[in-house]
Structure 1
Amino acid sequence: MQVIRAVGREAAAKKYDLLSAMMAHGLAGDKHRQRLILRLMALITTRYNWQRDELTIGQREIARLWCVDERTVKREMAKLRALGWIEIKQQGARGRVSVLSLNLERILLDTKREWDNIGPDFVARLGGTQPEPASNVVPLHRPEPMPAQGVWAEARARLAEEDRALFDAWFAGLAEAGAADGCLTLFAPTRFHATYVQTHLLDRLRVAVQRCDGRIAKVRVLGP
């Protein structure tokens, strides 16, 4: 999958591709998903700085744009953060609003299932059939899939559906060591494996786990 960077000569086309993917994803869902996606698209088209990856707007302004009250803004923005679609880039302080950013890779992953609804040219352009860059680096010894149950079993299924090659290379060999105080601990078969997942894939791992159990706020991967 090609991660969109909306800069350079093809910036305009890349922006339209991202918005098209979001639109298709929203239209394929229920009215609640459609409304949430539409509201985010409104923020992107009116206030998002593509070059700096920054969304800076206060809750009062968002409420006016969405024609809702500020409690609805808090609730909807919390949903978008839980999805991993928006992240806090700089926490607001002393009367200044927080600076947010878009997790474009997460958005593309979540909308990938609906790309076919737009057309094969769209799928080819975004590289829907291409492996992830991270998949180009494989462990020296590919581990056998470890048995799992509970939240980790559900999260594994999500990760496998998103990208089977990446799952087989890096996630299949992780074993659950337990969860405590909102942290899920996983064991990797080698120290290199653990370090690579922690460095390059932890965000994807965390989002998958949190979508299965919102009580888990942190994931750590340990090696032998």
Structure 2
Amino acid sequence: MLQPKATGRFAAARKYDLLTAMGAYALGQGKGPQQLTLRLMTLVTARYNWSRNELAVGQREIARLWNVNERTVKREMAKLRGMGWIRLKRAAVRGRVAEYGLEIDQILQDTRDHWRAVGPDFELRMGHEPTETVVPLPVKGQVTAPDCSDGTEWSLAKAVLHSEDPALYAAWGQALSRDGRAGGRLTLRAPSRFHAAWVEQHLKDRLTRICRQIDPDVSEVVILV
């Protein structure tokens, strides 16, 4: 299996193998996932530090590279975090951009069904014999990731929470539903008073922070029953 850090004698081949796996996966997807994967591939090719597993680049620079606005960058990066393909290693602060790392194991897990399209040599090189029977890799946290296809700030926030802490998401975040949005106020509904009280006390600040990373216009998250 491809190593998380592509360094050493065969580093160049490992880099191309990962990009090939991502490209084969993208070509088998619909327009949205295909575009998202292409954007990540372009960003990785242009700015990723393979030896340090570091992607440190500002949103303005990413927006220019992708030919989109910074709001789109926030949403696309949140989708990639929700998929488990990238993780936030260091949050952005004044004078310093955010730093991300690639979750190569998760990328390989999600793309492996498309390796055979490249060829049996590629399957073998990536660590699997080219057969129809392949033992599935374990699912991260054994918790199903939320559907974020509607693109709302809450769907993307749930995906990010799932990628950061699947158990916390399953216990408390999954049951919260989006009730509405009025300006910067995002209203969520909990299934019970106890659930709402726990989220209010222990999780609300984290949810607010995640939502703001996705949509800076979110100023408040309100939990209702």
Q: Secondary structure at the match of 1:43?
A: helix
8 A contact 1:21–1:108 mirrored in 2: yes
Shift of 1:71: 1.1
Please tell me the residue identity of whatever aligns with 2:145: Q
Number of aligned residues: 154
- 2:67 aligns with 67
- Equivalent residue for 1:210, pick from 119, 122, 145: 145
| Percent identity of paired positions between Structure 1 and Structure 2 | 49
- 1:174 aligns with none
CA, structure 1 residues 162+92, in 2 after alignment: closer, same or farther (shift >3 Å)?
farther
- 1:100 aligns with 100
Q: What does residue range 31-50 of structure 1 map to in structure 2 within 5 Å?
A: 31-50=31-50
Structure 2, unmatched stretches of 5+, are: 149-154, 169-225
Structure 1, unmatched stretches of 5+, are: 131-160, 168-200
CA, structure 1 residues 64+122, in 2 after alignment: closer, same or farther (shift >3 Å)?
same
CA deviation map 1:2-41 (0-9, x unaligned): 4453100000000000000000000011111111111001
> Taking structure 1 as the reference length, what is the TM-score of the superposition?
0.62
Distance 1:212 1:67 in 2: 26
Runs of 4+ in 1 over 2 A off after TM superposition: 1-5, 161-164, 208-221
CA, structure 1 residues 163+94, in 2 after alignment: closer, same or farther (shift >3 Å)?
farther
Please tell me the residue identity of whatever aligns with 1:11: A
Distance 1:162 1:56 in 2: 36
Q: Secondary structure at the match of 2:8?
A: coil
Q: Secondary structure at the match of 1:49?
A: coil
Q: What does residue range 1-224 of structure 1 map to in structure 2 within 5 Å?
A: 1-129=1-129, 163-164=135-136, 204-205=140-141, 208-211=143-146, 215=158, 217=162, 218-220=165-167
> Taking structure 2 as the reference length, what is the TM-score of the superposition?
0.62
8 A contact 1:4–1:14 mirrored in 2: no
CA deviation map 1:117-140 (0-9, x unaligned): 00000000011249xxxxxxxxxx
Please tell me the residue identity of whatever aligns with 2:8: G
Please tell me the residue identity of whatever aligns with 1:94: R
